[in-house]
Amino acid sequence: MKNFKIVYLGTEPEADVRMKKISRSLKKHGYQFEALKPKFRTTVGGRAVSAIARYMSYMLQILLSKADFYWVANAPDVVAIPLIVLGRNYVYDFRSVWSNEIRAEFGRGLWPFLARVVEKLAMKNAKVIVLNTDTLSEDAKPFGKPLFLVPNYPTKDFETTIDRSRFRQMHGIRGDTKIVLYVGRLSRVEGADRFPKIAEELSKHPKIKLWIVGAGPLENLVQQLEKTYPTTLKFFGWQPYDMIPNFINTSDVCIAPRHVDHNSRYYNEKGVLKISEYMMFKKPIVCTGIAASSQYLLVEEDKLVDGILRALKGEAPTPTPKTWEENAEPQLLEVIRASLAKPL
């Protein structure tokens, strides 16, 4: 069975950390694995037109590809359409409710409606549905497919390369100064638009520094905030992935400041990678806008800084590190066996 070829479908596989973990695990166990990379990209005609052109060309690539079965990374779910048309065997990796994300970005209307239709078709025609967090099971159960939970935990080699004290010295942190860390995409979805209020409130506490690591649409906002609050906020921009453990290990509190919306109940440490990365170093974690968990302190949106102060006083849970190899890879192999099994 291990000679079977598995092709991974996603519009940005080169930036997909989860895909790299899946690839490593399957190749380690002797399976053939390939990520089908989009060959056509353009920015001509604006965002919507370029996205449609990119998806259409990618779907043509899928139609021409060959595999024993496919792994479909949802959001966008349109990559499943060619497989549905041709009746091909695929796993649906249900990571988030794509139609809700479209709705959050564009509001109610045609696009969220179409996204929901495609989402349902993708789940209906999948052989197996994979969840990266248990909170998604309610949406997947009605389709009657075998469900497997494969959490999005970091791998065992997510380790530091620079000693904590040295890293602090490298960045001018001395004495009892505390570091609050955010790692992730700088977008409204991830709560980056809340940094002005967070920085303003933390500026009242001279011995607390806010470090921000990441890139995205709101990067200019963060750059301006660094100028406004130079003694409070330090912006590091995008950093190589192997540097992220050094930042987390050096911090005193880590945050995930998402907004409360119709997607909030779907997210927890099993699906949000940066939270489980924070957990690897047993850092106190303060979150907003996601589901409750024993692994972090969940507070109301306008109480984030209060939550940070509580965490610094020891009032946040001490999280339990979870690794991909021990807590996700065994389930992944069960997914592959179920996908390759012939129907009774």
Give the pLDDT of residue 74.
Answer: 77
Q: Euclidean distance between the first and final Cα of the chain, in Å?
A: 17
Verify that 42 and 128 share a domain, yes or no: yes
pLDDT for position 105:
64
Q: How far is CA 290 from the centre of its chain?
A: 13
CB of 180 closer than 8 Å to CB of 211:
yes
Q: Is the same domain home to 118 and 238?
A: no
304 in the same domain as 210: yes
Residues 224 and 102 in one domain: no
- Long-range CB pairs of 219-222, under 8 A, 24+ apart, other chains included: 219/186, 221/186, 221/192, 221/193, 221/195, 221/196, 222/186, 222/192, 222/195
Task: Tell whether 334 and 286 lie within a shared domain.
Answer: no
Please tell me whether residues 99 and 220 are part of one structural domain: no
Report if residue 155 sits inside a domain.
no
Query: Is position 176 within any domain?
Result: yes
CATH number at residue 240: 3.40.50.2000
- State the DSSP string of 137-183: HHHHGGG---EEE---PPPTT---SS-HHHHHHHTT--TT-EEEEEE
- Residue 293 sits in which domain range? 164-312
Q: Could you list the mean pLDDT of each consecutive 10-residue stretch along the chain, which spans 344 residues?
A: 80 83 93 85 59 76 87 82 90 82 69 82 93 90 95 96 96 94 94 96 97 96 97 97 97 96 88 96 97 97 97 97 96 91 57
Are residues 183 and 96 located together in one domain of the fold?
A: no
pTM above 0.75, yes or no: yes
128-131 and 147-149 strand pairing: parallel
Let me know if residue 285 belongs to a domain.
yes
For residue 157, being part of any structural domain is answered with no
13 and 129, same structural domain?
yes
Q: Is residue 318 part of a domain?
A: no
Same structural domain for residues 114 and 216?
Answer: no
In-domain check, residue 320:
no
Residues 6+ positions from 115 with CB-CB distance below 8 Å: 76, 77, 98, 99, 102, 103
Separation of alpha carbons 272 and 69, rounded Å? 27
User: CA 61 to CA 253: how far, in whole Å?
Assistant: 44
Q: Are residues 126 and 252 in the same domain?
A: no
Residue 235, helix vs strand vs coil: strand
Asked if residue 170 and residue 94 are part of one domain, the reply reads no
Please give the pLDDT value at position 42. Answer: 59
Same domain, 175 and 41: no
> CB of 126 within 8 A of CB of 91?
yes
Amino acid (one-letter) located at 320: T
Is 323 domain-assigned? no
Number of independent structural domains in the chain = 2
Q: Is residue 249 part of a domain?
A: yes
Angle at 116 (CA atoms; ends 60, 21), nearest 5 degrees: 60
For position 106, what pLDDT does the model report? 65
